[in-house]
Structure 1
């Protein structure tokens, strides 16, 4: 069985490709490399530089590579950018997924694991967030993903062999525990990388948006889930796919850490002080956001393994120390390799 991974050169996608290969799966990656890194794709995976909108080319790849299932990561994922310029988010995320689904239908590929987001919930009315919580996005990024959720639901209702599982995940963090893969965005908006870039002298300070939230230290609390735990959830979902599967799961730690918790823990891990600059809250940011993962634990047997904030940050620090410039300077063929011991057990 060959698995197609869209966005497999990106942060989460590349980690998932490594786990798939370590589990003995054949993997084909497509990525347009607008934000991914060719160097992050393990050499054992086949690779095609394609955009989701290239439907005919997607069909050719699916047929020639004998694709049987799809894991769909490819998406634009900057909330602020989606507010400033929404059209690319609907074009790439929503319309791009339509193109992918059309290619799947033409190629008789009928099962997909979809990378969704907690942004579909907007500002939740209850914490922790469950799969039954109201979905009311407050930005185009969240809407672009929610539209896809509806499209997938309609496909599962109309096409007898079509099945999907959607994973709504929270704040993905950390890097491969073996140091082979990392997080390298441009621009970088995630908190832990910004803390580490400050430690490395690549920026002068970390900006914290709001210190007047109704939390213990005044900064907002978020659910940080290790990237390898997220990827294990995808592999379990892949194995659970069946015709007409129509399921959504939250994937998170189940508890949260404040922004100041993250900064102080990074200082402890690195032994360096991190200058902070406070600015006003970002409109619409809830004080606390954390997931209930009870459903995926009950139905798929998943639970997070990397539950310590220190462990999550240590895995990132390991990568950043060895690769202060990210994947820059690594030539094609110098990226990671995968072996059965690279990423732990599949389940």
Structure 2
């Protein structure tokens, strides 16, 4: 009886000892793991700040392995004071995939081949100046790319405020977009290729954008696809004067913008097709002219417009028109206008 109790007590003692060993060992490795993550976090901050001369904040190292690392609450500032008003970028998470132990590379300061980076819910402002140059590279001072070659960047659920000063809108055109998803291919810098989709913040209209641009010059090819987009907002990309303005209406469009493809710096070539729905146009310069309920489509490029078929209403009288306009050197047009309620001659003139 006594022996049986002794065996049970001994078994309990062994079990308690094993539990204590497991807890102690687990706690030790947990502490070591947290220490390693903190060490890694500060190594990353120090390395990035050193190479791009910007302030960096990282909330914590969420996950870390020999092939990837996840950083939460990642922010970039203009300088190392880390003031809110100096913040230029933030992301809920950044996932970095690489082919070499990240911490070892940081300590030894050896080149690290980054396969790709994923930005989860990033937020930033992008500006294109009046010369057509994007501020992305200058804003982030990306000399880091020479230290850590990056093949590509994925964006998930991003938010972007895009300010474009190369439009006819005074003080630039602000377009706010959400649900930005896409990929930027960086293996051929200074050329950057990209493909992304998003929605405009104000009306949820979808937008597709792909093409390429260069980090050191204003050359680019941009392919836009719009669906049910607000023409009053985007008209500043098409309207070159103040004669006619859009008051309301929607449009679908496939549009290509290209800069400096023919060797003429600053010259923008554009081509595409646009379909309009329930558009109202007005002119303050032409005795308050107003054309309403415009529907139809046209094909256009930098030199001409071909109107396939457009219907509209002027002074409560419906009409339709077809024809062509060319404006390479001087304005020429051949437009046929039809109306049952008032007489308009077919136009075939040279301006």
TM-based fold match above 0.5 = no
- TM-score normalised per structure 2: 0.23
More helix by share: 1
Structure (1 or 2) with the greater strand fraction: 2
Normalised TM-score (structure 1)? 0.23
